[in-house]
Amino acid sequence: MFGFFRKSPEKEPARRLYSAILARAREATFYEDFGVPDTVDGRFDMVALHAFLVLRRLKRDHPATARLAQGLFDLMFIDMDENLREMGVGDLSVGRRVKDMAKAFLGRVAAYEEALGQDGGEALVAALRRNLFRGVVGGDGRHIVAMADYVRAQEAGLSGLVIETLLAGDLAFPPVAARERKEGT
């Protein structure tokens, strides 16, 4: 954990990327229009989904982006640790909770990666239903399909970014299309 605080050229770009991920994940439209549960778990899953999308894009230009990707991952879980402490989770259980969150994140990464690698949208819809919309009784299919459309649009938008933009820590997610929002309501 403390290795991240050493002076490195990836520290500031990772921080800027993570700030953009948090800003997007906190947008009210996901909770109001797309039906994502506005809970601690729902918000974690929105951060995880957007971090996955950015890390997927960074992975395409590996090894040039390996240190930035690792810095982003490390920063994300340092932030999770700090947030758990602020929420009053006891010091003795924070480490275990962060480890569980990292394991959950890596599981979602594997599920989303596999789903985006398949043709059609059913695999992505299923992965979102299991992860992002888990525990939602009756989970509105329109919300899940709209969210799958959103994920594919974001993935396509991020894939068009030149790597130098991301290496500099500059990230503007493609806008949420009005069509996606309306389908989710």
88-120 pLDDT, tens per residue?
777 777 888 889 999 999 999 999 999 998 876
Please compute Rg for the chain using Cα positions: 16
Is the CB of residue 127 less than 8 Å from the CB of residue 111?
A: yes
In a domain, 126, yes or no: yes
C-alpha span between 119 and 173 (Å, rounded)? 24
Residue 3: per-residue pLDDT: 53
Residue 183: per-residue pLDDT: 46
In a domain, 128, yes or no: yes
Residue 137: per-residue pLDDT: 61
In a domain, 185, yes or no: no
Residue 62: per-residue pLDDT: 87
In a domain, 170, yes or no: no
Residue 149: per-residue pLDDT: 94
In a domain, 181, yes or no: no
In whole angstroms, how far apart are CA 174 and each of 29, 134, 177, 181, 183? 14, 26, 9, 14, 18
Query: Using CB atoms within 10 A of its CB, is residue 51 exposed (0-12), middle (13-18) or buried (19+)?
Result: buried
In a domain, 62, yes or no: yes
Residues of the chain under the 70 pLDDT cut: 1-7, 120, 137-140, 178-185
**Which residues have C-beta within 8 Å of that of residue 70, sequence separation ≥ 6?**
10
Residue 169: per-residue pLDDT: 96
Residue 139: per-residue pLDDT: 56
In a domain, 184, yes or no: no
CB atoms within 10 A of CB 23: 12
Is the CB of residue 52 less than 8 Å from the CB of residue 128?
A: no
Domain range for 27 is 9-164
Total number of domains constituting the chain: 1
In a domain, 79, yes or no: yes
Which residue, 158, 176, 138, 155, is CA-closest to 31? 176
The reported pTM is: 0.88
